[in-house]
Structure 1
């Protein structure tokens, strides 16, 4: 198995790179791809940059250039489900491109990907179950030793949860109540919103390989969304990502288990 790990933030990538047994680095398309072994698994780690095009380009390079046959994308997201709070982790079981709309054409539904004939991408439950177990294990065993009490208090993180559900992606940073309300009306089951996951899902779908999207809630996708965002990424999300991904790799027992 060859696993591609993509991060939406450089801080998350740097945390993971501290654990890799590196075998090579290569810059392609303005991105640095770091290959090696992580938790006994062959991996390539890369900062994808933001947005659907950037994520899709990076995912394609991982598959075509580095022979990746399993994609993991991780980053932060804005909560759409009002029961979610900063620090909760969402594992995608369904991904939708919320800004895809070719419904003006006959026979095409809103969110449907033209020529694919589907409006959402489903994630194999074997992989979501493993990701959820990994994230829950990290939070229960390492949260208070990995992140200091003052930081947890500053972001009102007490007992973060791990949930599985629908994630929507679009080339917008949602930071106002009106946009958030519109998305909730369009996609009632929506858990959170971000800018890359569904694009990675489409690339993986078209290449016939498994994938996971793991997101840490950083904000409520409203007018307060940008407050302390850099600090949250550095002090909280990067550690959640690293701890959860390392434990996930431990759960991947042998080559072919993600087929």
Structure 2
């Protein structure tokens, strides 16, 4: 049986570096401003891409990957702010649900975060969620959490922002700036996905300091979890 081709997207270089270090038989290509690196990680065929920060960059990169490479799965890796009580810096979050926190068309009867004509939340592929749970059993780098990740084009670094998101999305686990755009693009282009993020800060007044200090650790933890996932006997989608 042929092995799946897996595309892995990160927004920032420190979130991609560990994966690049593990990449064998590397072939580089460029589309517009987006650089792609194709090869193998522990025998698994992968495409690594650096999207840049924010939802437009993430959606653009995801669209190009799907059109050009037709991957079986897409994984978004990187850092996030932890909003769930008890979550710690370095912990890994598997996003089984993803939503926009900065979309508001509620005046027309939509749920906060819902893009018109689309669902209010996007769901990661169940096969990838199951593989992530299997990978978590042998992952010793940090604790693993599963739940809702929300995205917006803003860095959450104040108590007011933190409080607003937790009030409006009561089951939120983490917040970042790309996942919902990747999830929405995958949904619209019928490509299975999962979001894997590690915590770099707590989305509070100290977030910018914590983010700078722990970005590399978070990027590595997330990348290690991704490697565990893709080597867990994933089948074709």
TM category (shorter chain) comes to over 0.9
Mapping 1:82-121, distance limit 5 Å = 82-105=85-108, 107-116=109-118, 118-121=119-122
Are 1:49 and 2:30 counterparts?
no
**1:15 CA displacement:** 1.2
CA RMSD of aligned residues (A): 1.5
Task: Name 1:127's counterpart in structure 2.
Answer: 128
Deviation sequence 1:54-107 (CA, Å, 0-9, x none): 1000000110012223100011111111221111111011101011111223x3
Q: 33, 38, 41: which is aligned to 1:38?
A: 41
What's the counterpart of residue 232 of structure 2?
Answer: 251
Question: Given the superposition, is the C-alpha separation of residues 193 and 2 from structure 1 closer, same or farther in structure 2, using an over 3 Å criterion?
Answer: same
CA contact (8 A) 1:39 1:249 kept: no
Which structure has the bigger radius of gyration? 1
* Contact preservation (8 Å) 2:78, 2:223: no
Q: Which deviates the most, 54-63 or 243-252?
A: 243-252
SS of the equivalent of 1:14 reads helix
- Asked if structure 1 preserves the Cα contact closer than 8 Å seen for 2:100 and 2:151, the reply is yes
CA distance in 2: counterparts of 1:170 and 1:252, whole angstroms: 33
Q: Distance in 1 between matches of 2:221 and 2:163?
A: 28
Distance 2:104 2:67 in 1: 29
| Structure 2 match to 1:155 | none
Deviation at 1:191, TM superposition (A): 0.6
Q: Secondary structure at the match of 1:216?
A: strand
Distance 2:173 2:111 in 1: 21
After superposition, give the CA deviation of every residue in 1:120-164 in whole Å (9 maximum; x if it has no partner): 01123331232233244232xxx4xxxxxxxxxxxxxxxx42010
Question: Where does the alignment leave 5 or more consecutive residues of structure 1 unmatched?
Answer: 144-159
Q: Give the count of matched residue pairs.
A: 234
TM-score, length of structure 1 as denominator length: 0.85
Structure 1 counterpart of 2:30: 27
